[in-house]
A = this chain, B = another copy of it.
Amino acid sequence: MKLHEYQSKLIFSKYGIPIPKGRVAATAQEARHIAEELGGRIVIKSQVLVGGRGKAGGVKVAKDPQEAEQLATQILAMEIKGLPVRKVLVDEAAAIETEIYFAITNDRAAKKPVLMASSAGGVDIEEVAAKTPEQIVKVHIDPLLGLREYQARDVAASIDLPRDYWKEFIKIAAGLWNVYKETDAILAEINPLVITKDKRLVALDGKMMIDDNAMFRHADLAEMRDIDEEAPAETEARKYGLSYIKLDGNIGCMVNGAGLAMTSMDVIKLFGGEPANFLDIGGGAGAEKVAAAMRIILTDPHVKAVLFNIFGGITRCDEVARGILVAMDEVKPKVPMVVRLVGTNAEEGRKLLENANMITAETLADAAKKSVAAAQGK
C-alpha cells in the first residue's frame, strides 16, 4: 500500500524526523487559509500516488496566500498520469542548500533491510544510480539487531555530510529505521532530505509503501488507504483477496497462481492475442471468490472472451467450477468462455461445467489459441 506524501511525513514527524510546517488541503480556499497561517513563501504539492509530480506541473511555489489559492485551484483541477488530484499539501517553502537522498528499503538479494543515502539527492537520483552508482552509499541492516548508531554515522561520513550535522542525521536515521520497522514498510524514503540555508536538516518530501501482508498488525495504517486513487475494480478485487491488474487487451484471464497467470498472458500473446487483465485467484479459492473474480473481469467492456486456466493443487477444480456456475447465473455473460481444468478434482469440475456451454481445452497452448480465436469472433 502506498502512502501519500503528507501521510508519510506525518509518520516521519511522529518518529522525530523534522518536516516542514504545513498541512493538507482539499480545496483552494483551505490552501489559502493554511498559507495565511504559515506566512512567507509556500509550496503547493499535488497529492497523488505516482512519481513525477514535479515534472507534470503538480508542484508550485507561491509568494503569498492569494497566489497559493490560485495555484491550488490549478493543481486541484489537474490529472497526473491518469490520476485526478484531490488534495494538495501546503508547506512552508524551504531555502535549500543541499539535497540528500535517504531511504530504507528491502534488499531481496541480501534478504536484509538496506539503508541508502547520497549527497546527490533530488529528482535525478535514478540517473545518479545508473551513471555514478558509487555516489550512493548502501548499508545493510541486521534484521534482528536493527540499525546501529555507528552505521548511521558511517553513512553520514561517507556522503561527506559536514560534521556539524552528524548528530541530527543520526537521529533522523534512527527515526527512519523505527518508521520502517514499526510500520512494516517496504519503503521509507526521504528525497530530498535537505540542509536549509539556516542550517537545519528537514525531510522535504516523503514516500512510504507498507507491506500489505503485514496490515493485520496496522489497523491505523489501513485507515490511511486512499481508495480514490485505485481503479474501482482493483478495490473490489482486494476486498475478495484477489490480485487483479487491468491491461489493454481484450481477453479476460482468470488463473490460479501468479506465475501461471503471467504465463497464460504470455502464451495468449505468443499466439497473437492481447490479455485484458492479470488476475490471480490465489491458492485454495472457493466458489464465492471465483464468482467475484468473474464479475470483475466482465466489468471491463473491452473483454471479448474469457480464459479460465486452473491447475488444481491447493485450489480444487470443482470449487472453481461451482464459482463459475454461480457467476454465470448472476452476470449472464455474452462473451465466449474457454475453460481448462487440470489437477485436483479436475474431473469433478469438468462434469459440473458439462452443460454450461463453454469451450474446453486440454493444454495451455490449446486454451490460449481457442481464446484468441474466440476473441476474434472466430
Contacts and interface: CB of A to CB of B under 8 A. Distances in A.
A144 B144 CA distance: 6
A227 to B, nearest CB: 32
A376 B223 CA distance: 78
A145 interface: yes
A151 B50 CA distance: 44
A145 B144 CA distance: 6
A171 to B, nearest CB: 14
Interface string A116-148: 000000000000000000000000000011000
A144 B143 CA distance: 9
Nearest to A143: B144
Q: State the oligomeric state as a number of copies.
A: 2
A343 to B, nearest CB: 33
A174 to B, nearest CB: 13
A170 to B, nearest CB: 15
Contacts of A145: 144
A113 to B, nearest CB: 15
Nearest to A146: B144
A137 to B, nearest CB: 25
A214 to B, nearest CB: 16
Interface string A180-221: 000000000000000000000000000000000000000000
A144 B145 CA distance: 6
Contacts of A144: 144-145
A363 B364 CA distance: 94
Interface string A143-176: 0110000000000000000000000000000000
A36 to B, nearest CB: 38
A320 to B, nearest CB: 35
A335 B10 CA distance: 66
Interface string A233-265: 000000000000000000000000000000000
A145 to B, nearest CB: 6
A301 B156 CA distance: 57
A144 B148 CA distance: 13
Nearest to A145: B144
A145 B145 CA distance: 8
Nearest to A142: B144
Nearest to A144: B144
A149 to B, nearest CB: 13
Interface string A294-332: 000000000000000000000000000000000000000
A249 to B, nearest CB: 46
A148 to B, nearest CB: 13
A182 B1 CA distance: 30
A142 to B, nearest CB: 8
Interface in A312-371: none
A169 to B, nearest CB: 20
A145 B143 CA distance: 10
A376 to B, nearest CB: 56
A163 B151 CA distance: 46
A221 to B, nearest CB: 20
2 contacts: A144-B144, A144-B145
Interface of A: 144-145
**Which 2 pairs across A and B sit closest by C-beta, in order of nearness?**
A144-B144, A144-B145
